[in-house]
Amino acid sequence: AEVSSLSLGQSLHGIAVKSAVGCDVFVANSLIHCYFSCGDLDSACKVFTTIQEKDVVSWNSMITGFVQKGSPDKALELFKKMETEDVKASHVTMVCVLSACAKLRNLDFGREVCSYIVENRVNTNLTLANAMLDMYTKCGSIEDAKRLFDTMEEKDNVTWTTLLDGYAILEDYEAARDVLNAMPKKDIVAWNALISAYEQNGKPNEALLVFHELQLQKNIKLNQITLVSTLSACAQVGALELGRWIHSYIKKHGIRLNFYVTSALIHMYSKCGDLEKAREVFCSVEKRDVFVWSAMIGGLAMHGCGNEAVDMFFRMEEANVKPNGVTFTNVFCACSHSGLVDEAESLFGKMESSYGIVPEDKHYACIVDVLGRSGYLESAVKFIEAMPIPPSASVWGALLGACKIHANLSLAETACTRLLELEPRNDGAHVLLSNIYAKSGKWESVSELRKHMRVTGLKKEPGCSSIEIDGTIHEFLSGDNAHPMSEKVYGKLHEVMERLKSNGYEPEMSQVLQIIDEEEMKEQSLKLHSEKLAICYGLISTEASKTIRVIKNLRVCGDCHSVVKLISLHYDREIIVRDRYRFHHFRNGQCSCNDFW
């Protein structure tokens, strides 16, 4: 079992049977443990049924095996059967059963188990008490967890971290922070729990603040979990300088580049705009699992390197690494941003037949995006109609987005209607249709749609762009003046726009997607888009030789795209912009997307 050798276990089983000790309960229990460790659940069950006088260890071995091998429902069924046979459970039994309840999020049964522990006077040591606490937090009952926590006479770091996790699951970060502050001895596990909670719940800035606080702690070493969570947060906000520091820390302290750390580094560099560094990390490791390959394919996809991403997919196949659902999502996105329709359709057709992966909703949405973005709207509609599963909101959203690109108003109305049937409060769908109406000059329809949004309380997500300067993330909203250097930023913006106009730039008024009559006001509206503000801050805050990197939460509009191309030409700056869908690398007046986005 220790070396997970199934053939050796089977040989020992055969010897045990031949030597007449196969029925010995101690030997049988060991065989059960061996088979579970090797992943052979059927053989473990067969051995269990042959034991005539099962002891509590026999039951525990089976229950533990089912929990550890991802069958918590079977573990609970076995526990119920154990009760009917009047076998007295031990604290080991209870720990495993509570773990099964936690995995199944079965609070009701978990409470019954806790009552069973009290009624049967099961020895409640610290391990069992922590298991009860873990069950309550995983099942979302923080009240039960806090009540138990307050009654526990003995607590260790596992106890405190479990409660912290419980609050984090419910996104009560203030309470989670209070638990961390109250811990008698904070260890890296507790810090990791808070950083991970913030990062996984879309609060990367808060995760980085906690990480910076952790850096100030003495005698606490960062581990691989810390680094993966923090790198993921860096990727979200584009914190390239901190990501580089973490990479240097990994090298300096000789931390092993396991698959998780490698994938996180590739993802961070890719999402922060340094694709070459992502490639360097990828090439530096000898062994690569599907997550490492998928991360690199995803990086190539978001930077518009479609052909290279498809080639890498086949290189992965040659390396005998089987793709997963994420791999296909990434390679389809690569095809979409590069117009590789034939390649996407070919791979999609082989997903199930050649790779044994049943296409999911996200894969259908990707193919609709591939077809629609390339202008094959009729083919996209036929593809949707032929889907074996009901089209989801993301599928209709992909079609709606394609309709905006190709100005197909009638199909856009159909797609939006179907999308809103599934997600009535999808603000993005309302805004997208409103924008299509605006581009078509249907201002009355724009007015009606926006009035509906006001009445129903739907608000458009504001445009927000960020830029990292000297390790600090600076955020700009469209038209805001909250930044302490806003006066200088707007001064630079005025200078830039006047310089571009003198070189032939004319604002693309079709990009003003709201009712504005005066031409001057339309121009002013375009001028204040958040990415322009962030780039101007970069121009006044960095050396002329330094690349400007901006992260935007929405798709870059056509006017901003034209302006950034011109800035890169007339100010001789390399500018990299990550919008909601992909990266744009601007150099010498050209963009890497070739105006296909």
pLDDT in tens, 484-505: 999 999 999 999 999 999 999 9
- In whole angstroms, give the CA distance from residue 93 to residue 65: 11
CA distance readout (Å), 589 to 35, 273, 365, 407, 561: 64, 18, 33, 26, 10
Where a domain ends, among 253, 287, 321? Answer: 287
- Look at residue 164 and tell me if it is in a domain: no
| Model pLDDT, residue 23 | 55
Residue 213, classed as helix, strand or coil, is: helix
Q: What is the DSSP string of 312-346?
A: HHHHHHHTT----HHHHHHHHHHHHHHT-HHHHHH
Q: What confidence score (pLDDT) does residue 333 get?
A: 96
- Has residue 559 been placed in a domain? yes
In a domain, 84, yes or no: no
Q: Quick one: angle between helices 25-37 and 56-68, nearest 10? A: 0
Alpha carbon 37 to its chain's center = 30
Mean pLDDT of 423-430: 90
Q: Which residue has the higher pLDDT, 219 or 533?
A: 533
Residue 509 lies in a domain: yes
Give percent helix, percent strand, percent coil of the chain, each to the nearest 5. Answer: 65, 5, 30
Spatial distance between the Cα atoms of 554 and 537, rounded to a whole number of angstroms: 19
Q: Which of 287, 306, 340 is the last residue of a domain?
A: 287
Rounded distance between C-alpha atoms, residue 578 and residue 592, angstroms: 12
Which of left, alpha, beta for 573 (phi over 0: left; psi -120 to 50: alpha)?
beta
Q: Is the pLDDT of residue 518 over 70?
A: no
- C-alpha to C-alpha distance for 139 and 134, rounded to whole angstroms: 8
Answer for the pair 367, 333: CB distance below 8 angstroms, yes or no. no
Q: Are 540 and 533 in contact (CB under 8 A)?
A: no
Both tokens of residue 194? 């808070």
pLDDT of residue 54: 83
Report phi then psi at 548, rounded to 5: -95, 125
Contact predicate 575/547, CB 8 Å: yes
Mean pLDDT of 186-201: 94
Please report whether residue 292 resides in a domain.
no
Beta strand 575-578 with 548-552: parallel, antiparallel or unpaired? parallel
Q: Which of 417, 403, 539, 537 is nearest to 465 (CA)?
A: 537
For residue 221, the model assigns a pLDDT of: 92
Q: How far is residue 468's CA from residue 271's CA, in Å, rounded to a whole number?
A: 13
Q: Which residue has the tokens 């129903």?
A: 456
User: Residues 6 or more apart from 243 whose CB is under 8 A from it?
Assistant: 231, 234, 235, 265, 268, 269, 272
The secondary structure of residue 462, as a DSSP letter, is P
Tell whether the model's pLDDT for residue 2 goes beyond 50. no
Burial 252-264 (b: 16+ CB within 10 A, else e): eeebebeebbbbb
What DSSP letter does each residue of 372-415 carry, written as one string?
HHTT-HHHHHHHHHT-SS---HHHHHHHHHHHHHTT-HHHHHHH
CB contact burial 217-237 (16+ within 10 A = b; e otherwise): eeeeebebbbbbbbbbbbbbb
Q: What is the CATH number of the domain that holds 186?
A: 1.25.40.10
CA distance from start to end of the chain = 54
Rounded Cα distance, 580 and 551, in Å: 9
CA 214/CA 191 separation, integer angstroms: 7
C-beta separation of 473 from 239 below 8 A: yes
Write the DSSP symbol of residue 127: H
pLDDT for 410 equals: 92
* Domain-located, residue 550: yes
Q: Note the pLDDT of residue 558.
A: 86
* Contact by Cβ (8 Å): 281, 266: yes
* pLDDT digit string, tens, across residues 306-340: 999 999 999 999 999 999 999 999 999 999 999 99
Mean pLDDT of 167-190: 94
The candidate with the shortest Cα–Cα distance to 164, out of 121, 198, 127, is: 198
Q: Which of 246, 265, 287 is the last residue of a domain?
A: 287
**Is residue 551's pLDDT more than 90?**
yes
pLDDT at 517: 42
pLDDT at 597: 73
**pLDDT band per the 50, 70, 90 thresholds, residue 5:** low
Q: What percent of the chain has pLDDT over 90?
A: 70
> In this predicted structure, what is the pLDDT of residue 321?
97
Per residue in 19-74, pLDDT (tens digit) is 544 456 777 778 877 777 777 778 888 888 888 788 888 888 889 988 988 899 99
Identify the H or E element spanning 506: none
pLDDT digits (tens, 9 = 90+) for 440-480: 888 888 888 888 888 888 888 888 999 999 989 999 998 88
Q: Which tens digit of pLDDT belongs to each residue from 210-232?
A: 999 999 998 899 999 999 999 99
How many independent structural domains does the chain possess?
A: 2
Which one has a higher pLDDT value, 359 or 437? 359
Cβ atoms 389, 358 nearer than 8 A: no
Spatial separation of the C-alpha atoms in residues 362 and 353, rounded to whole Å: 18
d(C-alpha 173, C-alpha 183), whole Å: 15
CB atoms inside a 10 Å sphere around CB 276: 7
Q: Are 206 and 198 in contact (CB under 8 A)?
A: yes
Length of the chain: 597
534 with 473: CB under 8 angstroms? no
Structure pTM?
0.84
Domain membership of residue 408 (yes or no) is no
Which residues constitute the domain of residue 514? 464-591
The mean pLDDT of the chain is 90
- Residue 334: what pLDDT? 96
> Average pLDDT of 126-130?
96
Determine the pLDDT at residue 69.
86
Over residues 345-391, the pLDDT tens digits come to: 999 999 999 999 999 999 999 999 999 999 999 999 999 999 999 99
In a domain, 9, yes or no: no
Q: Note the Cα 82 to chain centre separation in Å.
A: 40
pLDDT at 447: 87
Evaluate if residue 536 carries a pLDDT over 90: yes
Question: For the segment 84-101, what is each residue's pLDDT rounded down to a tens digit?
Answer: 888 888 999 999 999 999
